[in-house]
Amino acid sequence: MLSGDNALDRCGELIACARRLGADGADAVYVGSQSESVQVRLGELEDVDRSESEHFGLRVFIGMRQATIGSSAVDAGRLEELASRAIAMARAAPEDENAALAPRSLLMRHAPPDLDLVSTLPGPEELREAALAGEDAARAVTGVTNSEGASAGTGHSVIALATSDGFGASYAQSQHSLSAAVVAGEGSGMERGSEWRVARHRGDLPDAAWIGQRAGRRAVDRLGPTSVRSGAMPVVFDPLAGRSLLGHFAAAISGPSIARGGSFLLDREGGQVFDSSVTIVDDPLVARGLGSRPFDGEGLETRATTLIDKGVLTGWMLDSASARKLGRQPTGHAVRQGGAAPSVSSSNLTLLAGEPSVAELIADIAEGVLLTELIGPGVNIVSGDYSRGAAGFLIRDGQIAGPVSGITVAGNMADMFANMHPARDLDVVYATNVPTLRVDGMTVAGS
């Protein structure tokens, strides 16, 4: 794997090749990564996996035509071949009036901020010990009858980006993970439970035994599920399940969706979309953040953005292409994936905590459900229609009752967002985070 400086040099050489062959402009990205993981099951080592990958992406512009190409070949002798293929593709591409590099005036001109994304990687024996500790703790939970295994992993990656307009920077990041999954019960009454965490620094991970205990308790708590009557009722999303709602929101305000008219929030900019208790922030500059990035996929400076301010939608997440289509400026939300053109993504996306505790949030619910698991896609970003299989727990008279499964929850996301209320139990552990969320007026269908 190349170092950041070497990767930048190679990106610069690739751009120079493209310019010599006739490109009016170009940018190049390098992504190199290495990872190692250890999997155990029933106290025995089951698998050790190590992988390494390197990839270049080159985007070239000829007039209003563009093409993007990727290759895993990183040797200097292959650069001209890669550039030649990209130039040939661009000359055959249709014209696109929005095809251009990011505005030069908006490129980041200072050194990237240090976001503390790199840490020491443990060896395979340390990973094995952590995986065993997690599985042992899970299997020790009363009621657990089998194991699907536990794993511990680590990795390191380097990202470099250069453009023909003079931008060039790189950064590195580490990743550490722990997970466990076990089964409780017997025969047709078996239930599965799991837990996983990821962090940039290993010391920020929970203890492996805690991961295992959580997995075991989740499996046992799901034993003996019933169904629920069908009808309209409040639905409460625990933080793990609720994270997906924030993902749907991000997709609905992404520039490409807005530019092609494919979002149920298309006409809602500047309007009240959520309850006034909801504020949503996207911050790519969080130290050690799983979604942190010091610059975006087109070389623009990144910054924290309040996407929802007390319920009001403040604007869209834009890359340069979608910004031009909408007559706007890009917002620093572009990302690159190897040989693909820039796309739009959030970074560290957080729905801020509300005021009530979880107990206070559900206290007046005579009958409802607390969802801990969602199944299947069932989401239409264009219309906002939402329908997903689910499992969790019954809420009766303001208290969490027994487990439920085999249910479907449905609604329209415009109504769901307007009737959403957050609790104060926010725990920032992933790239997308929410507290417990209550949504009134959803339709629940039992089996």
Q: Could you tell me if residue 115 is inside a domain?
A: no
Let me know: does 376 contact 405? Beta carbons within 8 Å: no
Q: Could you tell me if residue 235 is inside a domain?
A: yes
Q: Could you tell me if residue 216 is inside a domain?
A: no
Q: Could you tell me if residue 129 is inside a domain?
A: no
Let me know: does 17 contact 180? Beta carbons within 8 Å: no
Query: One-letter amino acid identity for 426?
Result: L
Query: One-letter amino acid identity for 376?
Result: G
CATH number at residue 24: 3.30.2290.10
Backbone angles phi, psi at 444, to 5 degrees: -115, 130
**pLDDT (0 to 100) of residue 73:** 72
- Tens of pLDDT along 405-434? 999 999 999 999 999 999 999 999 999 999
| Shared-domain flag, residues 306 and 443 | yes
Final residue in a domain of this structure, among 106, 125, 141:
106
Range of the structural domain that residue 93 is part of: 4-36+47-106
**Per-block average pLDDT, block size 10, for the chain (447 residues)?**
93 95 96 96 95 94 94 78 93 92 94 96 96 98 97 97 96 98 94 96 97 97 92 96 96 96 96 98 98 97 97 97 96 89 95 97 97 93 96 96 94 97 96 98 90
**pLDDT (0 to 100) of residue 424:** 97
- Tens of pLDDT along 332-371? 999 998 778 899 999 999 999 999 999 999 999 999 999 9
| Shared-domain flag, residues 92 and 230 | no
Q: Could you tell me if residue 139 is inside a domain?
A: no
Q: Could you tell me if residue 20 is inside a domain?
A: yes
Final residue in a domain of this structure, among 77, 106, 135:
106
| Shared-domain flag, residues 396 and 263 | yes
Q: Count how many domains the chain has.
A: 2
**pLDDT (0 to 100) of residue 72:** 85
**pLDDT (0 to 100) of residue 242:** 96
**pLDDT (0 to 100) of residue 338:** 73
**pLDDT (0 to 100) of residue 447:** 67
Let me know: does 138 contact 178? Beta carbons within 8 Å: no
Q: Tell whether pTM > 0.85.
A: yes
Q: How far is it, in rounded angstroms, from Cα 162 to Cα 151?
A: 36
DSSP per-residue string spanning 354-389: -SS-HHHHHTT-SEEEEEEEEES--B-TTT-EEEEE
Structure tokens at 91: 């000359």
Q: Could you tell me if residue 191 is inside a domain?
A: no
Final residue in a domain of this structure, among 106, 123, 140:
106
Q: Could you tell me if residue 121 is inside a domain?
A: no
